[in-house]
Amino acid sequence: MFATLKQLPKNVWILAATLALVQGSMPLMVLVSGLLGAELAPSKSLATLPITLAVVGIACTTVPAALLAKKFGRKWAAYVGLLMSLLGIVACGLAAAAQNYSLLLVGSALTGGGGGFYQQFRFAAMESLSDMSNAGPALSVLMLSGIVAGVLGPELSTIGAMLLPHWPHYAPAFLLMALLGLLALVVLAAFENPVFKEQEASGEARSLGQIIKGKAFLIAMLAALLGYSMMVFLMTSTPISMHVHHGHSLSDAKWVIQSHVVAMYLPSLFSGFLIKRIGPAPLMISGSILYLLVIAVALSGEQVLHYWWSLVLLGVGWNFLFLCGTTLLPAAYKPSERFKVQAVNDFSIFSSQALASLLAGWILFQFGWQVQLLMCLPVALAALVISLLYGYGGSKRNQ
């Protein structure tokens, strides 16, 4: 493991450090914007609209992020994303201070828009490798940075309240997040755009339609799409279900969300290396089974520990499915095709994620937590079927 880590280029570590500083904005949004939205929204069913717009922002910028990276390079595209996210965080802070729901929506969309650019970091990391067998470990390093972000982001709500107790509720948290964003701009300066050794024009580029119909693309994209959609569908509603519907404290909700985000990224200590050693199939199947366990545990009760265990299992299952999907994607395209395929892949994933987060609040308030859990069953089963098809079909036949 340590020998592999030493082989990873500087770019991977710079991207990981940048993500550690800025990725906390989304866990912070999940915790704060839903609760703030419940206070400010004209209807309780619109409480999750801010986080939905954040996810819509991600979906809307996936294609522009890829196009900007193609035209100006990965580094300048990343700077655009950092600045967009910084503006969004500042707007959210002002919205909290002014108790302005409309401004909260604008800030959430901008923050998510920046996140669409961050998603390109995983492709930049893989493009920086000289040995593609290290793709799993490189992605693990990037995802491990999410542990820092996952703990720090929600914790800013507590730290901010301690440092600036007389400020409006939640505003200090967004201020601290903005300061981390400024630091990320400095860290990213050391990143160098990857240079391909092979000619990108070599070979005839296929049409996009031909590529996305291939089994390699469909399996890679669907593994990540199904994993992300179910994760967001439940994660978005959890703080509201706990705090608003079942009377659990904000501290308990924060602990559950923090534990969930850590569970999303902590398995990267070994999951990327397992992909290198045994291949993606066993992890994809395991992730799908964990998703079924999420539903079973969550349906068994509504105490804090039921939420905690279900969200932890949800995080681990997401790690396996998303990491495997990302690792498999480069097999679906040639270097000359990478930007358009990456754009379609991410747009598909995050459009579905946006729809899931939008439906989450409405379904929770209209039908309740139990119905929302049962609606996840077809998604978990579909992920299992796809994983089994890939595992038993063999990776060669899926390409």
Task: Give the gyration radius of the chain's Cα atoms.
Answer: 20
Closest by Cα among 306, 295, 313, 261 to 380: 295
Res. 398: pLDDT tops 60: no
- What is the C-alpha separation between 399 and 211, in angstroms, rounded? 10
Tokens of 149: 């972000």
Interacting residues of 242 by C-beta distance below 8 A, sequence separation 6+: 248, 252, 253, 256, 304, 307
Tokens of 292: 């079924």
Q: What is the pTM of this model?
A: 0.76
Query: Per-domain residue ranges for the chain?
Result: 2-190+208-393
Structure confidence at residue 198 (pLDDT): 45
Start-to-end C-alpha separation, the chain: 28
Distances (CA, A) of 249 to 253, 254, 256: 6, 9, 11
Most confident of 157-161, 167-171, 280-284, 339-343: 280-284
Q: Contacts from 202-210 at CB under 8 Å and sequence distance 24+?
A: 202/336, 203/334, 203/336, 205/334, 205/336, 205/337, 206/334, 206/337, 208/340, 208/341, 208/344
**What single letter denotes the amino acid at residue 203?**
G
Name residue, tokens 């910084």. Answer: 86
- What is the C-alpha separation between 134 and 278, in angstroms, rounded? 13
Q: Which CATH number does the domain 2-190+208-393 belong to among 1.20.1250.20, 3.90.1150.50, 1.10.357.10, 3.90.226.30?
A: 1.20.1250.20
Question: What percentage of residues in the chain have a pLDDT greater than 70?
Answer: 94
Structure confidence at residue 201 (pLDDT): 46
Strand (E) or helix (H) holding 153: helix 135-163
Q: What is the pLDDT of residues 190-201, one digit of tens each?
A: 999 887 544 454
